[in-house]
Amino acid sequence: MIASDISIDAFRQAHEHVKEHAHHTPLMGSRSLSEASGFNAVLKAESFQRTGSYKIRGPLNKLAHMDEAEKRAGVICSSAGNHAQGVALAAALHRVRAVVVMAENATPSKIEATRAYGAEVVLHGSIWDEANEKALELVEEQGLTYIHPFDDLDLITGQGTLGLEIYDDLPIVDAVVVPIGGGGLISGVSTVLKSLNPEIGIIGVESSGAPAMKRSVEAGQRVELDQVDCVIDGLTVKRVGERTLEIVRRNVDEIVTLPDEKIFEALLWTLARTKVVVEGAAAAPVAAVLNGLVEADPGSTVVCVLSGGNINLDQLRGLSWN
């Protein structure tokens, strides 16, 4: 089976694993965003999810598929923060040891939350790729089972349960706008929604300072960025996954990019107008809509996936309120 052929039954089975511990988060209409865009704008508020992010979904499904020997060995992951918390809580719920490697500049609140869920935290490097190299070393040293943050079929299927909830709650949707880091979320969501409604538009949003997926799609193969100029941790990836690239090439209609400044402006706009707390990556779909990067007919129903609410308050303090 190729990655983009994950069946809808697999997603429904994943939802059975996920719903036992994760919330079915709400779809919220936004009059402010509708008026600003001309769309019928709807927000998928994954900010209200356990751990404050969609990233609990994939690990719950992954752990449900692991055998007892793998569970006894324990699990390890690398993460900028949200995947760390998702793996940590999922492992705790399954009573499995978890080790998490995080970049040294990860958001302090995410480090603290990961430890609070019971994981052992190792700090290494300045970006995800460097933390990931350390995690792979520990796999060899300690025999841990590695849970990739985005390029794993069980994880992608778990993340895709978010898309299943969108369809179950609101079957008639014209377009869904999803942030892209490594591509796990948009891979799962796009596969579900394209299976259920091939006409739906799927738009991905990246930081223009870290457009790894857009560059890779344009090149027809994975491209590793020489450097990234992005401070939004959920969007800062130098190289996307093999599986996620395959799925995005097949299922995603367009990828748009914006500078971090525009995304942070949308973050503040979302806080002020919708009263929903979002982190930087979660504000990217709203930024794309506010800046006219989502092409759809007036009145179209457009869902923005607010992927998480674990905001870095130190970054927020440095933003202008003008």
Residues annotated as catalytic are 55, 307
- CA 198, CA 274: separation in Å to the nearest integer? 30
If we measure between CA atoms, which residue out of 255, 249, 284 comes closest to residue 269?
A: 284
If we measure between CA atoms, which residue out of 59, 65, 62, 57 comes closest to residue 88?
A: 59
- CA 184, CA 259: separation in Å to the nearest integer? 21
If we measure between CA atoms, which residue out of 193, 240, 252 comes closest to residue 212?
A: 240
- CA 270, CA 274: separation in Å to the nearest integer? 5
Neighbours of 5 (CB within 10 A): 11
- CA 98, CA 144: separation in Å to the nearest integer? 9
Beta strands, E only, the chain:
27-29, 40-45, 75-79, 98-102, 120-123, 145-146, 175-179, 201-207, 254-258, 301-306
- CA 102, CA 127: separation in Å to the nearest integer? 8
Are 74 and 99 spatial neighbours (Cβ–Cβ below 8 Å)? yes
Give kind and range of the element (H or E) at residue 227. Answer: none
Decide the pairing of beta strands 27-29 and 40-45: antiparallel
Q: Cα(first)–Cα(last) distance of the chain, in Å?
A: 51
